[in-house]
């Protein structure tokens, strides 16, 4: 089974899969400057919270790699902070973007505090970006192994949007248990919601699963209730873009509705995410900023007008699923069950 490399550092540039071209074309694009990385994140060439974090780390290195070696370290840090703020403005909801940029900034300050030169600092920051990518690979496998234990005895999974390998460095989050199971010789059957309006489930999830030899059935978003009512689904697993202290979870628009349908049919609803996606500075989902995207994604999706000209449009990219609808979180630190606020804090304390 082969998994597509979403993002990697190769020949002095970040190389990404341009996901706007899927499923018709698998195109690898070289990103050689911070402006190109900003655009790649903004227009969804790279997407998925963990992959966005990795992209941001490489983007920040691309911003500073040509900074003059003979300038002061204070000006270097000032420049780095300016470019981090620029990258942070690309998308507002996925917390991994901000987590990765803050990690790079902390590393830069540690390096400079140790008296290391600007030239050496730049090389060490590339090392840090590479480590963020490698950590994500390890994290994905850990999520997969934890989720596989939770899914024992289940055969069919419904997922929404794309939280597979193309949303991360390799294994994915929601699909990580599927890939780990396949490595061990067991195949789940995955039902994939198409995920309006940008069809990430149809264009990306169905694409990567079929390419990996995983049985996949594509359904329209409005079919999920009927499919669950028919008894075809054993569990729902989705990814996340930000999870608050009480367990409220922001994910691709449509996730909240799917959680209500799962609750109505007695189907467990799991959220898979690395700990970098948990934002414990926020007490509840009411505090999560929700990105609103261009109305043309709905009225003129993929170049064909499907709505009257001038119509009012509301196009939030994410919604928030309340924690009481989530059966468990599958993380790189293991499975976390309710009560979430207490158990998330307990996990964090164990890491200190």
DSSP string, 292-348: B--THHHHTGGG---S-TT-----BSEEEE-GGG--EEEETTEEE-SSHHHHHHHHH
Query: What CA–CA distance (Å, rounded) separates 232 from 23?
Result: 26
Query: What CA–CA distance (Å, rounded) separates 165 from 183?
Result: 14
Query: Rounded to whole angstroms, what are the CA distances from 345 to 208, 209, 278, 281, 338?
Result: 35, 35, 11, 12, 12
241 is catalytic: yes
Query: What CA–CA distance (Å, rounded) separates 104 from 122?
Result: 11
Query: What CA–CA distance (Å, rounded) separates 330 from 332?
Result: 7
Handedness of CA 108, 114, 115, 117 (dihedral sign): negative
Q: What backbone phi and psi angles, to 5 degrees, belong to 16? A: -120, 155
Query: Rounded to whole angstroms, what are the CA distances from 348 to 9, 101, 345?
Result: 31, 21, 5
Select which of 193, 221, 241, 279 is catalytic. Answer: 241
| Cis ω before 162 (30° cut-off from 0) | no
Query: Rounded to whole angstroms, what are the CA distances from 160 to 89, 200, 250, 267?
Result: 26, 8, 13, 15
Calculate the CA 173 to chain-centre distance: 8
- Residue pair 176/331 in contact (Cβ under 8 Å)? The answer is no
Which of 292, 236, 291, 296 lies closest to 264, judged by CA?
Answer: 236
- Residue pair 187/216 in contact (Cβ under 8 Å)? The answer is no
Angle of helix 34-42 relative to helix 73-88, nearest 10 degrees, comes to 20
Which of 158, 142, 207 lies closest to 6, judged by CA?
Answer: 207
DSSP letter (8 states) at residue 71: S
Q: Which residues are catalytic?
A: 241
């Amino acid at each position: 089974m082969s998994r597509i490399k979403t993002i990697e550092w190769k020949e002095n540039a970040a190389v990404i899969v341009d996901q706007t071209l899927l499923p018709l074309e698998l195109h690898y694009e070289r990103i050689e400057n911070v402006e190109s990385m900003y655009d790649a994140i903004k227009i969804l060439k790279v997407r998925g919270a963990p992959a966005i974090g990795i992209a941001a780390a490489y983007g920040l290195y691309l911003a500073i790699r040509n900074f003059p070696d003979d300038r002061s370290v204070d000006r270097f840090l000032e420049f780095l902070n300016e470019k981090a703020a620029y990258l942070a403005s690309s998308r507002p909801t996925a917390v991994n973007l901000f987590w990765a940029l803050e990690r790079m900034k902390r590393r830069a300050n540690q390096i400079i505090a140790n008296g290391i030169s600007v030239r050496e600092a730049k090389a060490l920051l590339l090392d840090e970006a590479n480590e963020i990518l490698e950590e994500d690979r390890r994290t994905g496998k850990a999520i997969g192994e934890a989720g596989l234990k939770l899914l024992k005895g289940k055969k069919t999974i419904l997922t929404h949007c794309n939280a597979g390998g193309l949303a991360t460095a390799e294994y994915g989050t929601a699909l990580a248990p599927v890939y780990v199971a396949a490595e061990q010789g067991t195949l789940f059957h995955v039902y994939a919601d198409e995920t309006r309006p940008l069809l990430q489930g149809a264009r990306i999830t169905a694409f990567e699963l079929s390419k990996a030899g995983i049985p996949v059935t594509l359904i329209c978003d409005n079919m999920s209730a009927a499919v669950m009512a028919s008894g075809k689904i054993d569990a729902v697993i989705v990814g996340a873009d930000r999870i608050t202290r009480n367990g409220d979870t922001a994910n691709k628009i449509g996730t909240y509705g799917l959680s209500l349908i799962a609750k109505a049919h007695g189907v467990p609803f799991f959220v898979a995410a690395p700990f970098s996606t948990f934002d414990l500075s926020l007490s509840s989902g009411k505090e999560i900023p929700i990105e609103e995207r261009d109305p043309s994604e709905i009225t003129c999706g993929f170049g064909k007008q499907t709505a009257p000209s001038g119509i009012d449009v509301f196009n939030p990219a994410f919604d928030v699923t309340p924690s009481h609808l989530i059966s468990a979180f599958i993380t790189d630190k293991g499975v976390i069950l309710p009560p979430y606020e207490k158990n998330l804090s307990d996990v964090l304390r164990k890491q200190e």
